[in-house]
Every structure is written in C-alpha cells, then in structure tokens.
Amino acid sequence: MKKLLIVDDSNIIRSKIARCLGKYGLEIAGMASNGQEALAQFKATRCDLVTMDLTMPHMDGIECIRALREIDAHVRILVVSALADKATAILALKEGAQGFLCKPFTESDLTEAIGELISDDDND
C-alpha cells in the first residue's frame, strides 16, 4: 500500500483529499498545513506520494517540492492548486512535480490524477 502525505493549508481540502484517497486505497501517512510541517512529516514517514498545495504560509509549495526532491528524488508529487497563476504551476513542474490538479476538483478528478501518478511510477 502506497503512503501519502497531504500538504494543504486548508483543513477542508486536506479532509477531502484524505477521505477520497483513503477510499482509493492509499495509506494517509501524514497531513501538513505548510511546507515546514510537510518536510518534518516526510522525513519521519518517507511517503511515496505527496499532494502539494502551492500557496501556503511559512514555506510555499515550490520551496517544499525542491526540498522534498532533495531528500528523495523518487517521491511522486501531485500539485493541487488553483490554476490562476500558470507561472507558478510551470515552476512546480520544472521543480519536479509530476502531476497537476486544478482546484476546485471532484473526487474523480483527484483519483484520476493520483492514478496517473502511480501508474507513471510503476512504469518508471
């Protein structure tokens, strides 16, 4: 069972992702509301997958992606963010995120995006 870390400053979004992907069969190994928390939890849990918001306090998503990739170059990251700022999305992909999901999203959007992320991982 793959382990998932959910990073988002919105409690509602975190819960929604956890509920949806818990049903999908992933182990919710941790939830963080900012980049620093995310790093601490990632070091402790060594998750396979991360859903990452971009706009967060303390350490934003881009910085966090960079730091996560330094710790584990193989971690699969799905950016879950509003697509208002495409420049940030492009930056996230350049930094090594492998998926992008635009808010607001439905449960099927989320499972489809995470499914693609996992299948890419299996193909690698």
Partner 1 sequence: MFHLELGKYRNIVLSIALFIFFDLAVLVLNFVISSQISNDALMINLAGRQRMLSQRITKTALQVEYRIRDGKPFGNELTEFKKASTVFDQTLTAFSQGGRTTSGTGDEVNLAAIEDPTAQGILREARDIWTPLITAAKSLTDNADIMQASQLARLMEAANLQLLKLMNDLTTRVEQIASDKATMLRTVQVTGITLATINFIIILFHFIGHLRRSDRELEHAHKETADILRTTQEGLFLLDPELKIGSQHSTALNSILGVATLAGADFIDILRARVDQKTLKTAREYLDLLLKHDVKEKLVTSVNPLNRVEMLLDQGPGKPETRFLQFAFNRVKEKGKITHLLVTVSDITRRVLLEQELKATEDRARGQLGMLMEIIQIDPFALHQFLRAAADGLQNINGLLRDQSEPVTGRSGLLRDQSEPVTGRSSLVNALFRQAHRIKGDAAALGMSSLADAFHQLEDLLSELREQPSLSGEDFLPVTVQVKGLFEQIETIENAVIRISQVRGVATVEAPRPQHDPNTAKLPFVQRWRDFANQIATRHGNTVEISYKGIDVATLPEGLSSAVNTIINQFIRNAIVHGIESSDARKALGKPEAGRLSIYISQNDDGSVELSFRDDGRGISVQRIRDTAIAKGRLTAEEATAWDNRRIVGLIFEPGISSHAAVDADAGRGAGLDAVAELVVRFGGNVRIGTTPNEYCHFRVHLAPRAIVEGPAAT
Task: Name the site residues for partner 1 (rule: CB under 8 A).
Answer: 83, 86-87, 89-91, 93-94, 98-100, 102, 120
Distance CA 86, CA 80 (A): 13
Distance CA 34, CA 56 (A): 6
* Shortest reach from residue 85's CB to partner 1, in Å: 9
- Closer to partner 1 at the Cβ: 28 or 96? 96
* Shortest reach from residue 96's CB to partner 1, in Å: 9
The residue assigned the tokens 């170059």 is: 73
- Closer to partner 1 at the Cβ: 31 or 79? 79
- Closer to partner 1 at the Cβ: 28 or 91? 91
Residue among 82, 83, 80, 88 at smallest CA distance from 32: 80
Task: Provide the sign of the torsion angle of the four alpha carbons 120, 63, 6, 16, taken in this order.
Answer: negative
* Shortest reach from residue 101's CB to partner 1, in Å: 9
